[in-house]
Amino acid sequence: MEEVRLVIGKYPAKLDDKNRLFVPAKLRSELGSEFYVTLGVNCGHRCLTVYTEPDWQKLSENYNALPISQKGAATSLIFMNAVQCEPDKQFRFTMSQFLLDYAGIGKEVVIVGRAGQAEIWAAAEFAAFESENLTPEKLLASLEAIGL
């Protein structure tokens, strides 16, 4: 059985002048030596989604199994805008300008775990998202949705 990597936590980070993002030490083993970054959205907010290698392969297999009529533009955009990342020796990886622009990312970012994936957010956008969604009612609804 394949090992499931759980990506958890919240990590403030900064892009350098070459649009490289440093992978926090805690995330290195969770994300692995190769991962994928693509378009993402969470509760109507734009962000980037980071998939581990096994999760990306599973997503690709699911997409390839779809009938041609269901391989719409929005689904295709996830793949055509993805970036395969292999961090350098200092655990940095380069972000494409298109992805940064899509998510409104400047220098300040927040990387958050989301079980089998991670998300990369513009710091201000994440603060707005957290403010909107960190309510007792929404937290309870989320816990119920995952069976707690």
pLDDT tens track for 102-119: 999 999 999 999 887 999
pTM of the predicted structure, to 2 decimals: 0.89
The pLDDT assigned to 5 comes to 63
Q: How many residues does the chain have?
A: 148
E strands, the chain, are: 10-14, 20-22, 35-42, 45-52, 83-85, 92-94, 108-114, 117-122
pLDDT tens string 48-68: 999 999 999 999 999 888 888
**Range with the poorest average pLDDT among 68-72, 85-89, 110-114:** 68-72
- The domain locations on the chain are 10-145
For domain 10-145, give the CATH number. 3.40.1550.20
pLDDT at 1 over 50: no
- pLDDT, the chain, mean: 90
